[in-house]
Amino acid sequence: MVGEAKVRREGLDLYSEKLMMLAFGGGKSGIGEGGVKIVGLVITEWKDIPMELLLRIVSLVDDRTMIMASGVCSGWRDAICSGLTHLCLSWCKNNMNNLVLSLAPKFTKLQTLVLRQDKPQLEDNAVETIASHCHDLQDLDLSKSFKLSDLSLNALAHGFPNLTKLNISGCTAFSDVSLEYLTEFCRKLKILNLCGCVKGATDRALQAIGRNCSQLQSLNLGWCENVGDVGVRSLAYGCPDLRTLDLCGCVCITGIFKIGGEFYHFTRSSYIIASSKWIF
C-alpha cells in the first residue's frame, strides 16, 4: 500500500509539473529556489497557485490531465470542481461508468458533458447520478449508450430543466412514452438528435415534441422507421423555429408538404433545411 501511494503521489507530481510548465513556459518546472514571482505574489509550491491562474492553466490541457490535476490537493480539487463547465470523457475506453459515478458529485457546475462511446459502457445509475448533481447542464451527449433504459430519460427529465442540446442517437432502448415524458420537463430544447432511436422516435413522441418544445431548431430522425406524416405535421405546427430536419431512412413518410412558398415531397432519404415557418 505504501508503494502504491508513493507511485500515485509521484504521478500527481508529474502532472503538477506539466501544468506549471504550461503556465510559465520553458523546458523546466516554473518553480525553483525562491519560487516563481508574479506581480505581487511569490509561488513557492504548486499548491499555492491562485484559483484564477489554475483555471487558466487547466483550460490548456486535455480533460484527462485536468481530472488528474483535481487530485493533486484539496485546493486544486475545489478550484477545478467549482470552475469546470465543459467536460468530455469520450477518451475513456473502459470503466466510464465508474468514472462518471466518481466525478459527477464533484463537478456540479458542468454545462456541457460529452459521454459518447465506441462500445457501450454507461448504465442508468451513472445518468441518475449526473441528474442528481449537475443541474446546470445545457448540452449532453449520450450517443451510443446502448445499455441505457427509460430510467435514464426519466432522470434527465427531472434533473435538467435548462437542457438545450441533447444527443441520444443510437440509444435503441428508449421508448416513446419516456421521450414524451422528457419533453414535458425539458421545454428549452433547441437541438435534439434521435437518430436510430427506433422505439423512442414515433408519431406519439413527435406530437409531444410539437406540444412542448416550441424552441426546437434542429431535429435528427435518421433511420427512425416509425415516424410518419402525423408526427412530421405535429412538428410543423408546434416548432416554428425548426430549421434542420433529418428524415433519412424514415420509410413511413409519404406526404407532400408546403414549407414557406415551396412544396416538398418527403421520402425515406429526405433532409431539409427550412428557412421560414412551415405552412400546410
Is the pLDDT score of 277 beyond 50?
A: no
Confidence band (pLDDT; 50, 70, 90) for 278? very low
Handedness of CA 48, 50, 51, 54 (dihedral sign): negative
Q: Which of 199, 201, 189 has the alpha carbon at shortest distance from 234?
A: 201
pLDDT in tens, 20-30: 555 545 444 44
Which carries the bigger pLDDT value, residue 192 or residue 36?
192
Sign of the Cα pseudo-torsion (36, 42, 44, 48, in order): negative
Q: What is the mean pLDDT of residues 149-176?
A: 97
Tell me the Ramachandran region of residue 123: left when phi exceeds 0, alpha when psi lies from -120 to 50, beta otherwise: beta
In three-state secondary structure terms, 128 is helix
Q: What's the pTM?
A: 0.81
Q: Which of 97-106, 151-160, 261-270 has the lowest mean pLDDT?
A: 261-270
Residue 140 φ then ψ, to 5°: -135, 130
Greater confidence (29 vs 184) lies with 184
Percentage of the chain surpassing pLDDT 90?
59
pLDDT digits (tens, 9 = 90+) for 102-127: 999 999 999 999 999 999 999 999 99
| Strands in the chain per DSSP E | 36-38, 41-43, 86-88, 112-114, 139-141, 165-167, 191-193, 218-220, 244-246, 256-259, 262-265, 271-273
- DSSP label of 47: G
Task: Tell me what the pLDDT averaged over the chain comes to.
Answer: 83
pLDDT at 39 over 70: no
